């Protein structure tokens, strides 16, 4: 029997998820078929339900449907509940759709295992307060950093995000001006969409502490604008989000198949596809 999965988004034509999940299947000796499904806001629910009706065991949800997916799930895991977004749906045998969110756990695994950066006790700066930042915040706070400060163009959004996670750890939020008087950070994560336009958030020069790690959730064959800028600031460890993509996929695969592939092998095998070495 072959288990069938898909990624639903708009656009999805360039998604690397099929290549990643087919490699996972090979590495764990499971027969999986993983495809891409383009949807619109109007037909998103029907696309998910049709996939289930046609025998699919699960799907990943990507931009711009992660919040919409919350509403069609019968049950939510604590990760999806916390993130208020779903990136993985498991279609249970009893017909229930169970929503999970593996983006934040994928980020933390990439940081702690692949990059060997222990988050506990560190001062973390999270740039952006959109879906990706929200998904990352809970899993980051679970690692017990000294502080997660959120800086965002819309200061109120950053403040509200920090306030909604107040019970989970020390977190503060505000506009980029809050960084003028802030201390330097050990880890700076770019969860804005600015790298898509080749731009960077307005950051002061003293933002990185000595030995800090810079992490852009976006990734590509070349350094993103945020990665390039970080290097000009003298940061030695500069990471793109490809590791997060692979690790969140591995967590989704585990939810569906009960086996977690060794991602190091995946990085090696995907080297040609992404045009750079990793981890």
Q: What is the C-alpha separation between 173 and 226, in angstroms, rounded?
A: 21
Cβ closest to ligand NDP, residue 49 vs residue 63:
63
Query: Does residue number 61 form part of the binding site for ligand NDP (CB under 6 A)?
Result: no
Q: How far is the CB of 219 from ligand NDP (least distance, A)?
A: 6
How many whole angstroms separate alpha carbon 268 and alpha carbon 279?
9
By beta-carbon proximity to ligand NDP, the closer residue of 98 and 132 is 132
Q: How many CA atoms lie within 13 A of 196 on its CB side?
A: 5
Confirm if 103 and 240 have CB atoms less than 8 A apart.
Answer: no
Sketch the per residue contact string, 122 through 161, with ligand NDP: x for CB under 6 A, - otherwise. ------xxxxxx------------------xxx--x----
Nearer to ligand NDP, 129 or 148 (CB): 129
Q: Which of 125, 148, 244, 266 binds ligand NDP (CB under 6 A)?
A: 244
Provide the phi-psi class of 117: left if phi over 0, else alpha when psi is between -120 and 50, else beta.
beta
Number of residues that bind ligand NDP (CB under 6 A): 26
**The tokens of 256 are what?**
């569906």
Tell the residue number behind the tokens 């190091």, with chain if given. Answer: 264
> Smallest Cα–Cα separation from 276: which of 195, 212, 219?
219
Contacts of 52 (CB under 8 A, 6+ apart): 91, 95, 97
Shortest distance in whole angstroms from residue 108 CB to ligand NDP: 12
Return the residue nearest ligand NDP (CB atom): 130
Our CB check for ligand NDP shows the closer of 124 and 132 to be 132
- The catalytically annotated residue of 66, 159, 221, 262 is 66
Cα-only R_g, the chain: 18
* 245 lies in the site for ligand NDP, by CB under 6 A: yes
Please tell me the distance from the alpha carbon of residue 97 to that of residue 158, in angstroms, as a whole number.
31
53 is known as an active-site residue: no
Q: What is the x/- site pattern for ligand NDP, positions 174-213, by CB under 6 A? A: -----------------xxxxxx----x------------
Helix (H, G, I), strand (E, B) or coil at 201: coil
Q: Which is nearer to ligand NDP, 228 or 234 (CB)?
A: 228
Q: Which residues bind ligand NDP (CB under 6 A)?
A: 63, 103, 128-133, 152-154, 157, 191-196, 201, 217-219, 241, 244-245, 248
Catalytic residues: 66
């Amino acid at each position: 029997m072959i288990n069938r999965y898909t990624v639903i988004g708009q656009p999805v034509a360039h998604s690397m998820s099929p290549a990643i999940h087919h490699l996972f299947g090979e590495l764990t000796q499971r027969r999986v078929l993983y495809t891409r499904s383009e949807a619109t806001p109007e037909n998103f629910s029907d696309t998910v339900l049709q996939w289930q009706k046609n025998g699919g065991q699960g799907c990943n949800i990507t931009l711009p449907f992660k919040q919409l997916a919350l509403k069609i799930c019968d049950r939510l895991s604590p990760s999806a509940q916390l993130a208020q977004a779903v990136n993985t749906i498991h279609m249970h045998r009893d017909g229930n759709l169970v929503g999970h969110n593996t983006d934040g756990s994928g980020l933390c695994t990439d940081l702690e295992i692949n990059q060997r950066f222990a988050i506990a006790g560190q001062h973390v700066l999270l740039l952006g307060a959109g879906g990706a930042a929200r998904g990352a915040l809970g899993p980051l706070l679970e690692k017990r950093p000294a502080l997660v400060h959120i800086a965002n163009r819309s200061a109120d959004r950053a403040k509200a995000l920090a306030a909604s996670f107040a019970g989970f750890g020390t977190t503060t939020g505000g506009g980029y001006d809050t960084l003028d008087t802030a201390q330097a950070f050990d880890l700076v994560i770019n969860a804005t969409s600015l790298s898509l336009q080749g731009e960077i958030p307005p950051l002061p020069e003293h933002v990185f502490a000595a030995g800090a790690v810079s992490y852009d959730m976006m990734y590509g064959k070349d350094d993103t604008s945020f990665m390039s800028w970080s290097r000009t600031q003298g940061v030695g460890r500069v990471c793109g989000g490809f590791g997060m993509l692979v690790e969140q996929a591995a967590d989704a695969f585990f939810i569906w198949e009960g086996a977690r592939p060794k991602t190091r092998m995946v990085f090696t095998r995907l080297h040609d596809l992404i045009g750079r070495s990793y981890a």
